[in-house]
Amino acid sequence: MENLIRPGEVVQLSPRVRRLTAPNPGMMTGPGTNSYIIGTDELTMIDPGPEIESHIAALLSVVGGSLRRILTTHTHFDHSPAARAVKAATGAEVLGMPAPPQSNQDGQFAPDRVPRHGEVIACGDFSLRAVHTPGHASNHLCYLLLEDRLLFTGDHVMQGSTVVITPPDGDMGAYLRSLEELLTLDINCIAPGHGHLIDKPHDEARRLIAHRLKREQKVVEGLAAKHPATLDELVAVVYADTPLKLHGAAKRSLYAHLLKLEADGRAVCEREYWRLNPAITK
């Protein structure tokens, strides 16, 4: 079992992987955003993190003059903004997908190159395969360190907290498909964007899928018991097991579930009222 995660502390996770956590702990970020530095000679960084001066200084002191590339998993403000300062200081190439237009994301993020799904990025004495995993964000990428069978999951899979799916950029149907995608990968460990390493990654992906489908079933039961219903009426029923202070976030998840059910043809929405699709009997 790993010790507590402390911001600013460099932790050697394997001979070629180090973790440095940013000082931005919180309800959505757990102990803070994990930045990963891979390599011993020619270095690659995954998720430089938020634009916090002390964190950027710590990253630069770890990489010295050896950083060749910066990869981002997505463009939420706790993951990509520090790429600008790190690139300016090191000249490293930046890879990732830009923020969608009109989103409340890091719109200034300007990658030198956008990796293709499945592309293998040669990084000196190791390789990273880009895996497009929309769901938490439409532009979300995971990176598989082939030599270690270690998957950097950003916010696709987090340790210690639940991934938030916020429409319209967040998409529950896409998220579940992207979790299924993990089951097709030869991996033995997950390095998440928040929290500790996760063993048995396929078990974890299956657990997450089951958890979401169980919640989806509660949404269906909630609609069956009380419809037509608004989001506010439904959240109290479907998230009765969740503390009230989390109902704001729960409402966004509920909305994501409802949109998936609508896309699946199982629910319909008229104005703000949701009901089960009357054409479906079960």
Q: What residue ranges bind Zn ion (CB under 5 A)?
A: 78, 155, 193
Which residue, 96 or 222, has its beta carbon nearer to Zn ion? 96
Min separation Cβ 186 and Zn ion, Å: 26
Spell out where the chain has E strands.
Answer: 10-14, 17-21, 34-38, 43-46, 67-71, 93-95, 120-122, 127-132, 141-145, 150-154, 189-192, 198-199, 267-270, 273-276
Nearer to Zn ion, 30 or 201 (CB): 30
Nearest alpha-carbon partner for 128 in 199, 36, 51: 36
Helix %, strand %, coil % of the chain (to 5): 30, 25, 50
Left, alpha or beta for 136 (phi > 0: left; psi -120 to 50: alpha)?
A: alpha
Least Cβ distance, residue 271 to Zn ion (angstroms):
34
Which one, 78 or 171, has the nearer CB to Zn ion?
Answer: 78
Nearer to Zn ion among residue 158 and residue 254 (C-beta)? 158
Nearest CA to 36 out of 23, 21, 25 is that of 21
Write down the least CB distance from residue 159 to Zn ion, Å. 12
59 phi, psi to nearest 5 deg: -60, -45
| Rounded least distance, CB 155 to Zn ion, Å | 4
CA distances from 60 to 69, 143, 278 (A): 13, 22, 59
Q: Which is nearer to Zn ion, 44 or 80 (CB)?
A: 80
Least distance CB 229 / Zn ion (angstroms): 31
Closer Cβ to Zn ion, 155 or 181, answer by number? 155
C-beta of 47: minimal distance to Zn ion in Å? 8
